[in-house]
């Protein structure tokens, strides 16, 4: 079809010159509102809505002290997920990229987080009247970086075989860990008392609504993952488009979640930026369908419109007969 004939054909659809029927738009809207309200109330009465209590650093450190201490040690030496994340939290890496496009790096470190300082050292420094702990922190900070890494690496290895005691503390095989066990023992006690939850929210002002630090700390450990697995929320389980329990979640994110299930996205170190890139292009294409040859022509080649307008075509045939 030539461009001119397409233009003339399109023009013919601009205004309907055929018959009209009576219609009450406000009545239709009122009935629709009643129907939707009834559906929402009905679904509410039948199914309510989920509300699983949030995890806290306190509940995590009490239910799995070994995982908590292991995570805290990786925060101390910067090898945790957050410690090695890169922008927008720190400069540990350049972040994900597509070819030469480093969007995360270009937007920079907007929410600076030093995991050793923010998650371990500062909270421990806030514990007063414990000279042994304060001396241990000072010893750790005074040690060369290589010595610090030696202590934390050895301790992390030993934590692989650590056991939790009934009182909530942990047992680790003796070794050359320097002041790390003293620090981690105090941090564990502090967390189990609930103090660390508050310390991670401490800011320069009284009011606080930013939960970035405690959330990142917990997501570096296994507490959120294990609960998410029970609730079929892991990435391999179509992730965050699901809702806790058996409720429908953000099912409209199915395509976004779908890409994470297949290669190359499922095995790529840059999966997030690749998926975001694909979804960005697809979203733009979705908006611009009227201008995309091929995609815009499918509806007239697939006769679904004959079903939609079957009454209209039937009337046309009857009138033409």
Partner 1 sequence: MSSTTKRSWTASARKRAVGALPPEKLLPDSQPSYMSSWIYVFGVLTLTALIVIIASGSILALKGPGWWHFTGIGHFFNSIHLWSVELFFFFMVIHLWGKYWMAAWRGGRARVWMTGAVAFVVAVPCALTGYVSQQNFDAQWISTQAKDGLNAAGVGAFFNVTNFGQMYSYHVFLLPLAVVAIVIAHVLLVRKHGIVPPFQLSDRGALLASASKADPEPVPPRDPSVGNERARDAVSGKAAP
Question: Which residue among 93, 106, 163, 175 contacts partner 1 (CB under 8 A)?
Answer: 106
- Nearest residue (CB) to partner 1, 25 versus 145: 25
Beta-bridge mates of residue 98: 101
Determine if 100 is a binding residue for partner 1 (CB under 8 A): no
**211-270 positions binding partner 1, by CB under 8 A:** 211-212, 215-216, 218-219, 224, 227-228, 231, 233, 235, 239-240, 243-244, 247-253, 256, 270
Question: Please, are residues 119 and 217 in contact by the beta-carbon 8 Å criterion?
Answer: yes
Q: Are 223 and 54 in contact (CB under 8 A)?
A: no
- Rule CB under 8 A: say whether 146 interacts with partner 1: no
3-state SS, residue 43: helix
Q: Are 72 and 120 in contact (CB under 8 A)?
A: yes
Burial of residue 86 (number of CB atoms within 10 Å: 0-12, 13-18, 19+): middle
In whole angstroms, how close is the CB of 193 to partner 1 at the nearest point?
21
Q: Is 206 in the site for partner 1 (CB under 8 A)?
A: no
Interface with partner 1 includes 22 (CB under 8 A)?
yes
Q: Which residues pair with 101 in a beta bridge?
A: 98
The Cα 216–Cα 200 span in angstroms is 10
Determine, following the binding rule CB under 8 A, whether residue 93 of this chain makes contact with partner 1. Answer: no
Return the range that interacts with partner 1 (CB under 8 A); candidates 136-144, 169-177, 178-186, 310-318: 310-318
CB-wise, 11 or 167, nearer to partner 1?
11
Q: Using CB under 8 A, which residues numbered 147 to 186 contact partner 1? A: none
Query: Of 163 and 296, which has the nearer Cβ to partner 1?
Result: 296
Q: How far apart are CA 154 and CA 311, in angstroms?
A: 77
Closest approach, Cβ 65 to partner 1, in A, equals 20
Pick from 74, 76, 113, 71: which is nearest to 92 by CA?
113
Residue 281 binds to partner 1 (criterion: CB under 8 A) = no
Identified binder of partner 1 from the candidate list 3, 17, 129, 165, rule CB under 8 A: 17
Among 65, 87, 181, 221, binds partner 1 (CB under 8 A): 87
CA separation for the pair 106, 280 (Å, rounded): 18
108 binds partner 1 (CB under 8 A): yes
**How many residues form the binding site for partner 1 (CB under 8 A)?**
112
Angle value at C-alpha 126, between 125 and 132, nearest 5 degrees: 50
Give the Cα separation of 115 and 67 in Å (integer): 17
Our finding on whether 133 is near partner 1 (CB under 8 A) is no
């Amino acid at each position: 079809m030539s461009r001119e004939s397409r233009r003339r054909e399109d023009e013919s659809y601009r205004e309907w010159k055929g018959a009209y029927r009576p219609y009450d738009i406000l009545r239709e809207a009122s009935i629709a509102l009643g129907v939707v309200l009834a559906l929402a109330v009905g679904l509410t009465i039948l199914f309510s809505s989920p509300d699983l209590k949030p995890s806290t650093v306190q509940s995590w450190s009490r239910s799995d002290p070994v995982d908590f201490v292991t995570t805290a040690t990786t925060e101390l030496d910067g090898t945790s997920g957050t410690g090695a994340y890169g922008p927008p939290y720190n400069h540990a890496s350049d972040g994900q990229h597509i070819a030469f496009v480093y969007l995360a790096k270009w937007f920079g470190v907007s929410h600076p987080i030093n995991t050793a300082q923010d998650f371990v050292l500062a909270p421990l420094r806030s514990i007063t009247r414990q000279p042994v702990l304060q001396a241990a922190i000072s010893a750790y900070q005074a040690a060369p970086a290589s010595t610090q890494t030696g202590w934390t690496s050895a301790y992390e290895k030993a934590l692989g075989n650590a056991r939790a005691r009934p009182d909530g503390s942990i047992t680790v095989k003796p070794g050359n860990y320097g002041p790390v066990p003293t620090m981690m023992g105090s941090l564990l006690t502090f967390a189990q008392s609930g103090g660390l939850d508050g310390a991670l929210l401490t800011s320069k002002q009284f009011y606080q609504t930013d939960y970035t630090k405690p959330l990142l700390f917990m997501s570096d450990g296994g507490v959120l993952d294990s609960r998410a697995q029970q609730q079929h929320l892991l990435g391999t389980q179509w992730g965050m488009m699901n809702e806790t329990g058996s409720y429908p979640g953000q099912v409209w994110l199915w395509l976004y979640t779908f890409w994470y299930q297949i290669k190359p996205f499922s095995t790529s170190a840059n999966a997030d930026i690749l998926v975001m890139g694909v979804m960005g292009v697809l979203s733009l294409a979705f908006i611009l369908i009227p201008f995309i040859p091929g995609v815009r022509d499918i509806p007239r080649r697939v006769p679904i419109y004959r079903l939609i307008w079957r009454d209209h075509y039937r009337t046309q045939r009857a009138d033409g007969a």
